[in-house]
Structure 1
Amino acid sequence: MQRKHFKRYLLIFWATVLAVWVTIIPARIAIASYQAPIPQAIFVLGGNPERMEFAAKFWQVHQNLDIWVSDFESGLDFNRSIFAQFGIPDERLRLDGRATDTVTNFTTLAADFARQKLQHLYLITSDYHMRRARAIATIVLGSQGITVTPIAVPSKLYRAESLQRVLRDCGRSLLWIFTGKSGSSLNPHLDR
């Protein structure tokens, strides 16, 4: 009998924790949107040179903003060269190579954004990737009191990502909130 009650209480506990987070994140996003109605930086997800070119052109109209790029370490020099072609000064670039996938694009920089007191970001990624990126941003960045304004880079090559991928990465984002781990180590395609 005690084990049955313990499981019930554990379930109630975790349901309560989840319910609290589900209400806290929208509240934190609303506060961030109110306090910073205009984006304070540009955040670009790596993995595609077209995104970097788009961000460089976008920056030409928003030269007061820094550009934060999250990509694989191996892509950072190439990204820097794209921005240099468009005359973007190095001091405006924040290139980060810790990401291993889309979830870690966000989890590796969330604390850096918070330390910089950034509450609102332009989020630049490909149109087919935006639904998943926004879902992750809502959970990961929203939990830190950061909102995003999405800017989609048009792409003719890919279809929108599946709902299964979106839900999987939402689960990984929630895992990160509760444990500080994104589950990226479970990816069989990563060399460790």
Structure 2
Amino acid sequence: MLVGLVGLGLLWLSRGVWWPTPPPPQMILVLGGDPDREAAAARLARSDGLPVVVTGGTNPEYAHWLFQQKEGLPSRQVQLDYRARDTVSNFTSLVDDLRKSRIRHALLVTSTDHMQRALLVGRIVAGSRGIHLTPVSVPCGDLCVVEGRRRLWGDGARAALWVISGQDIRPWVEERVAPWLEKAGFR
């Protein structure tokens, strides 16, 4: 089993050699949580004409004002999706929709401090559907919050389990494991 895991790891790490070159970007995927991300994506969309999908973003009134009135993008170029509630569901809630739309390459817009976790989760979830992600980091300046390894690898594990099972384990953990951890004094 260990040899198999090592083999899979080496295969994954060597994917740059055998994985086909992605087509040019076909869309901009914005992970909500910061209006600066949406503003950066709006400017990018205005300059390159790509469609934008904002997942879990700001309220619709602000988003419509930003994309349509301030940046002058037509409403058909911007899609707001509010199904996500965290980084993992940013991807799991819409990756199959992207695949059905034949998206193979997206620009991923998120804050600098969030990019490492977003890329890990996105490359697992979107990568499982053949979608390549290119990072576009938005500076967060004094508002940057360093994310810990526990959160990074926890979300990575959730994403991998979602790919395998098609289910997010978070509700199960919150229902069954979290109360036990609280009783044990770990929360």
TM-score by length of 2: 0.80
Corresponding residue for 2:105? 120
Distance in structure 2 (CA, Å) of the matches to 1:161 and 1:168: 12
CA displacement, residues 3-59 of structure 1 (integer Å, 9 cap, x when unaligned) = xxxxxxxxx4x985896588469749964x5141x2111000011111111111111
> In the alignment, is the contact (CA less than 8 A) between 2:22 and 2:132 conserved in 1?
no
Of 168, 174, 177, which residue of structure 2 is paired with 1:182? Answer: 168
1:66 aligned to 2:35? no
Q: Does 1:56 align with 2:42?
A: yes
Classify the secondary structure of the residue corresponding to 2:60. Answer: helix
CA change 1:110–1:19 in 2 (3 A) is farther
Q: Which residue of 2 aligns with 1:34?
A: 21
Conserved 8 A contact 1:128-1:155: yes
How many pairs are equivalent? 172
- Residues 141, 26 of structure 1: alpha-carbon distance in 2 compared, 3 angstrom cutoff: farther
CA contact (8 A) 2:112 2:138 kept: yes
CA distance, structure 2, for counterparts of residue 158 and residue 103 of structure 1: 20
**Per-residue Cα deviation, 1:57-95 (whole angstroms, up to 9, x for no partner):** 1112111x11011116x7334322221221111100121
1:93 matches 2:78: yes
**Structure 2 equivalent of residue 9 of structure 1:** none
Name 1:138's counterpart in structure 2. Answer: 123
Q: Is the 8 A contact 1:126 1:154 kept in 2?
A: yes
Tell me the distance in 1 between the aligned counterparts of 2:13 and 2:131.
Answer: 9
Give the secondary structure class of the aligned counterpart of 2:136: strand
Q: What percentage of aligned pairs have identical amino acids?
A: 31
Q: Which residue of 1 aligns with 2:33?
A: 47
Distance 1:57 1:176 in 2: 33
Deviating 4+ runs (over 4 angstroms): 14-22, 24-30
Deviations 1:132-190 (A, max 9, x none): 001011111111111111000001112331111110000000110111112242458xx
- TM-score, normalised by the number of residues in structure 1: 0.78
Partner of 1:75: 59
1:159 aligned residue: 145
Distance 2:167 2:74 in 1: 34
Distance 1:52 1:29, change over 3 A: farther
Give the RMSD, CA atoms, in angstroms.
2.7
Q: Structure 2 counterpart of 1:166, which letter? A: L
Question: Which AA in structure 1 matches 2:133?
Answer: V
Cα pair 1:28 1:144 within 8 Å, conserved: no
Out of 170, 175, 186, the residue aligned to residue 156 of structure 2 is 170
Q: Answer yes or no: is the 8 Å Cα contact 1:102–1:133 preserved in 2.
A: yes
AA matched with 1:82 = L
Q: Which amino acid aligns with 1:48?
A: D
Unaligned residue ranges in structure 2 (runs of 5+): 176-187
